[in-house]
Amino acid sequence: MADVAAAAGVSAQTVSRVVNASPRVDPATRASVEATMAELGYRMHRAARALRTGRTDTIGLVVSTLATVGNSRMLQAIADAAAARGFALTVVTASGRDAVADAFERLHDQGIDGAVVLNEATALARGLDLPEGLAVVVVDAPPDGASATTGTVQTDHAAGARAATAHLLAAGAASVHHLAGPVGSFAAAERERGWREALAGAGVPAPEIVRGDWTAASGHAAVAALPEAMTALFAANDQMALGALRALAEAGRQVPADVAVVGFDDVEDAADYRPPLTTLRQDFDALGAAAVASLVSLIGGDTVAPVVLTPQLVVRASA
């Protein structure tokens, strides 16, 4: 480290901050130090460093399921963001409140520096006592859960739902039906809230909702419970919208001529649906980067503010 400092013309403390992924380094200085490290062949001995600092440069990810597209995309985004900061990633799946508590204890026992709790698992983690010294960032949870060792990162799902509903109403729909996500999901509840707020603001009574489980199959099945007179549908995610598109086609109803459809997420294939899907784009890469950045700051002893990202309406042919 002293050799790197001398060659780069900086202090040993600056090199230490670069090695430890501290945000308190000017980007140009960081790039210079990293280039010098590469030139000199500097390699950090992680085991020795962990003994000295008490840190392993490993973060955890606690998630209920990786079967949904949103969660799998968040896993990729968090893994990429962690790697960019020199952190390894350990993934733990936990399907119940006790399992989430056990996951925190296991991560702490393994010397993990901090953990990101993802989507559905955030409700299970709410109110749990965290192991001492374990920093946590929850993704998709209300910001009132933030503390000195806990941060929050979320999409403004309600704002996205309001935009989707307003778009359908502006296109001439007398009302907008909602294919909601599962009970207990923060994202599903917020998207339902935004839909209701947009209808109320337009003086339109909210129709009875139908629910799916985020899968295309559940979206396909749910259409049977919606009225034949429906002319506009806001689906809480793109997979359910895809199932709804197939069900509407099988019923002989054209999209958007008979029924306009809007989804949420803007998954990679949304533009290739038939018709291409109008949807709300969640920036999963930005969510993952914000979660990791907040967690690294907490691990370093800094405080963090809640992060809220606004999804963008992407208008295509379905509405």
- Confirm whether pTM is higher than 0.75: yes
Q: CATH number of the domain at 157-281, out of 3.40.50.2300, 2.60.40.10, 3.40.50.300, 3.30.70.20?
A: 3.40.50.2300
Fold agreement between 1-44 and 56-154+284-309:
no
pLDDT tens digit sequence for 14-64: 988 888 777 888 999 999 999 998 898 887 655 555 545 556 689 999 998
What pLDDT, on the 0 to 100 scale, is given for residue 284? Answer: 94
- Phi/psi at 137 (nearest 5 deg)? -120, 130
SS3 146: coil
What pLDDT, on the 0 to 100 scale, is given for residue 51? Answer: 46
What pLDDT, on the 0 to 100 scale, is given for residue 79? Answer: 96
CATH, domain range 1-44:
1.10.260.40
Tell me how far apart the alpha carbons of residues 214 and 241 are, in angstroms, rounded to a whole number: 9
Contact 154, 258 (CB under 8 A): no
Tell me how far apart the alpha carbons of residues 247 and 237 are, in angstroms, rounded to a whole number: 16
* Record: fold of 56-154+284-309: Rossmann fold (3.40.50)
pLDDT tens digit sequence for 117-130: 987 788 788 888 88
Domain ranges of the chain: 1-44, 56-154+284-309, 157-281
- The per-residue DSSP string of 222-262 comes to HGGGS-TT--EEEESSHHHHHHHHHHHHHTT--TTTT-EEE
